[in-house]
Amino acid sequence: AQKITQTQPGMFVQEKEAVTLDCTYDTSDPSYGLFWYKQPSSGEMIFLIYQGSYDQQNATEGRYSLNFQKARKSANLVISASQLGDSAMYFCAMREVYTGTASKLTFGTGTRLQVTL
Amino acid sequence: DTEVTQTPKHLVMGMTNKKSLKCEQHMGHRAMYWYKQKAKKPPELMFVYSYEKLSINESVPSRFSPECPNSSLLNLHLHALQPEDSALYLCASSLGAGVYEQYFGPGTRLTVT
């Protein structure tokens, strides 16, 4: 069984500063994918960034980067130059192959990020 | 366009009612998902459809009945729900059911009275 752990229930960051949200995972499957999603108070889950287990380089998407350390089983999200609109809940998630035709996405408990002036 | 739409946005229903939630995507995705999210908790997978066939049912009670009439549309039929079923119901889609990113709709906030 796979497991995702986010140990920071809440984080504060000042506007324009960088922040790192932690995520560790546990799986015995060699093929998996790691995702970060943002959920504002409106409820919609917004896809931010993806890292595949075989990817050699850390994923980046604009102000988001993923610090992937496979041996430590960690996939931390780094947000650079924080903006007020970044205030939201952030979920780390992992997909493993579930059957031959489907896979399952499991989420961590989330980190609530508050960006302050 | 990475849009998944869901209707209605809000739904209040009694325990004896029958209602349906609707989800639609026009991105050519072949996998669609229903998740349930309680307040301050992560989403929990309910069902996965791959190529219009039910691939995963996470032991969801039969009062929730999914349906995938075509590759763009996903419904969740609700009948005889309990107050504890009140939650945000999220629909998602992905290119395939493999390790692809999922795109979520805005959700339907369901209250069972």
> A108: which strand partners?
none
Q: Does B57 touch chain A (CB under 8 A)?
A: no
Mean pLDDT of chain B: 93
Distance from CA of A8 to the nearest CA of B (A): 14
Q: Which of A35, A37, A102 is opposite residue B55, by nearest beta carbon?
A: A102
- Neighboring chain B residues of A33 at a CB cutoff of 8 Å: 99-100
CA distances to A21, A100, B48, B76, B108 from B55, rounded to whole Å, are 33, 9, 5, 15, 23
Helix (H) or strand (E) holding A42: none
A85: how many CB neighbours lie within 10 A of its CB? 9
Contact B34, B66 (CB under 8 A): yes
Please judge whether A101 and B42 are an interchain contact, meaning their C-beta atoms are less than 8 angstroms apart.
no
Q: Does B45 touch chain A (CB under 8 A)?
A: yes
Cβ neighbours for A34, distance < 8 A, ≥ 6 positions apart: A23, A25, A50, A51, A52, A53, A66, A68, A75, A92, A93, A94
Contact B85, B20 (CB under 8 A): no
pLDDT single digits (tens) A39-74: 999 899 999 999 999 999 999 999 999 999 999 999
Between A99 and A61, residue with greater pLDDT: A61
